[in-house]
């Protein structure tokens, strides 16, 4: 059995021809930013940086949810794991992110009940089986993940499960694009917009951003020819000085997105001003649990004192997330900060720019 539409979009001949078109077309020196950790990974894994001409630089933006999570939120997760009678549930990539004094992994080694789950439904199941424990899900992610967490809260309500709580540190992408454009020193000529965030929110969600900045924007899928196609479309727009908001992932992304998922997300969450690592507070860029669902809100249920945490000293994660620096420009990279002993989250998550550089970048 073939994997539906994956083989075709991996066809090296198609990719080679798109690269030829990019080569023929690209004259200006341009900088394109991807805002999706899975794009970062795919670009490195498929050697796309080496395939495209020197005129085009690819930057990794704030597209890795764990990486953009502020230090005080990481500290809050660790703090919450110390509350009595709790079971912490989380996706795996959060485990090793260093907080100010510890990490979830270190806390688990000390005996805290911290479990890696695959889906929020696993957390509901754990809550159902452990009625005498308080089961907390650490909600980190963008619009792709937030509806799945919202659905879990609705299900918990329907199933009358009262020992399931979510600590919501969810964030939304379009607001971050606005903030990026206002970051001092930033040089971006076009955006490769995320694939599965866009599946949910639709290309229409980027219209306010596009209309404000007239910045070339293309939504891309994750296979090599998807990403190369987006790069080609962006290069064309920039060479022709005709910025557009385009979709190179039409098989999954529509203008309106997944309206049911958006509805469920908005039923449970509302916008909040939240801090992003490296960027600071972005108005309306977070998702907090609505008052109606405050019984499920771990942020309200538990007193949390971690408020003023500092980012690790010397760590350039913040500048790397905004494209101001590459990992090799960070004094800690590969010296003190490695995947085994990470200092910042960009080295922890498999989607982090530093982790991707460490694995795939050969110093050229």
Residues that bind another protein (CB under 8 A): 1, 3-6, 8-9, 13-14, 17-18, 20-21, 36-38, 41-42, 91, 93, 118-122, 141, 144-145, 147-148, 151, 155, 195-196, 199-200, 221-223, 225, 229, 248, 250-252, 254, 258-261, 264, 350-351
Q: Closer CB to another protein, residue 12 or residue 47?
A: 12
Residue whose structure tokens are 């930033």: 186
Task: Find the shortest distance in angstroms from Cβ 326 to another protein.
Answer: 22
Task: Find the shortest distance in angstroms from Cβ 245 to another protein.
Answer: 17
Q: Nearest Cα to 152, choosing from 139, 142, 141, 143?
A: 139
Residue whose structure tokens are 């800690």: 332
List Cβ neighbours of 193 (8 Å cut-off, separation of 6 or more). Answer: 35, 36, 173, 203, 206, 217, 218, 219, 220
Q: Closer CB to another protein, residue 22 or residue 304?
A: 22
Secondary structure (DSSP) of 113-170: -EEE-SSHHHHHHHHHH-TTSEEEEEE---TTTHHHHHHHHHHHHHTT--SEEEEE-E
49: burial class by Cβ within 10 Å (0-12, 13-18, 19+)?
Answer: middle
Q: Closer CB to another protein, residue 29 or residue 263?
A: 263
Task: Find the shortest distance in angstroms from Cβ 207 to another protein.
Answer: 20
Task: Find the shortest distance in angstroms from Cβ 117 to another protein.
Answer: 9
Q: Closer CB to another protein, residue 212 or residue 263?
A: 263
Q: Closer CB to another protein, residue 13 or residue 308?
A: 13
Task: Find the shortest distance in angstroms from Cβ 147 to another protein.
Answer: 6
Q: Closer CB to another protein, residue 25 or residue 186?
A: 25
Order of all β-strands in the sheet with 245-247: 56-60, 30-34, 190-193, 217-219, 245-247
C-beta neighbour count of 92 within 10 angstroms: 12
What would the two tokens of residue 243 be? 């910025």
Task: Find the shortest distance in angstroms from Cβ 85 to another protein.
Answer: 26
């Amino acid at each position: 059995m073939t994997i539906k539409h994956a083989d075709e979009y991996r066809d090296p001949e198609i990719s080679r021809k798109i690269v030829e078109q990019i080569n023929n077309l690209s004259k200006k020196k341009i900088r394109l930013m991807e805002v999706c950790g899975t794009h970062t990974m795919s670009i490195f894994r498929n050697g796309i940086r080496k395939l495209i001409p020197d005129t085009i630089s690819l930057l990794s933006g704030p597209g890795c949810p764990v990486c953009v999570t502020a230090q005080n939120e990481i500290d809050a997760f660790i703090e919450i794991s110390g509350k009595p009678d709790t079971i912490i549930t989380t996706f795996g990539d959060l485990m090793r992110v260093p907080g100010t004094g510890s990490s979830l992994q270190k806390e688990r080694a000390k005996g805290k009940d911290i479990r890696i789950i695959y889906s929020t439904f696993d957390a509901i199941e754990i809550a159902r089986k452990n009625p005498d424990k308080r089961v907390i899900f650490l909600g980190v992610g963008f619009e792709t993940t937030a509806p799945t967490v919202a659905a879990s809260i609705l299900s918990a309500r329907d199933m009358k499960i009262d020992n399931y709580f979510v600590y919501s540190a969810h964030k939304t992408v379009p607001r971050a694009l606005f903030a990026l454009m206002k970051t001092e020193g930033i040089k971006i000529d076009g955006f490769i917009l995320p694939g599965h965030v866009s599946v949910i929110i639709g290309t229409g969600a980027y219209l306010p951003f596009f209309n404000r900045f007239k910045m070339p924007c293309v939504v891309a899928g994750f296979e090599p020819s998807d990403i190369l196609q987006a790069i080609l479309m962006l290069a064309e727009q920039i060479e022709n000085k005709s910025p557009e908001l385009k979709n190179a992932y039409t098989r999954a992304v529509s203008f309106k997105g997944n309206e049911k998922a958006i509805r469920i997300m908005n039923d449970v969450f509302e916008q909040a001003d939240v801090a992003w690592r490296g960027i600071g507070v972005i108005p309306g860029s977070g998702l907090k649990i609505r008052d109606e669902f405050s019984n499920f809100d771990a942020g309200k249920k538990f007193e949390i004192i971690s408020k003023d945490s500092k980012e690790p000293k010397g760590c350039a994660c913040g500048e790397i997330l905004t494209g101001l620096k590459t990992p090799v420009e960070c004094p800690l990279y590969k010296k003190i900060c490695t995947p085994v002993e990470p200092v910042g989250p960009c080295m922890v998550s498999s989607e982090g720019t530093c982790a991707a550089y460490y694995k795939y970048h050969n110093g050229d």
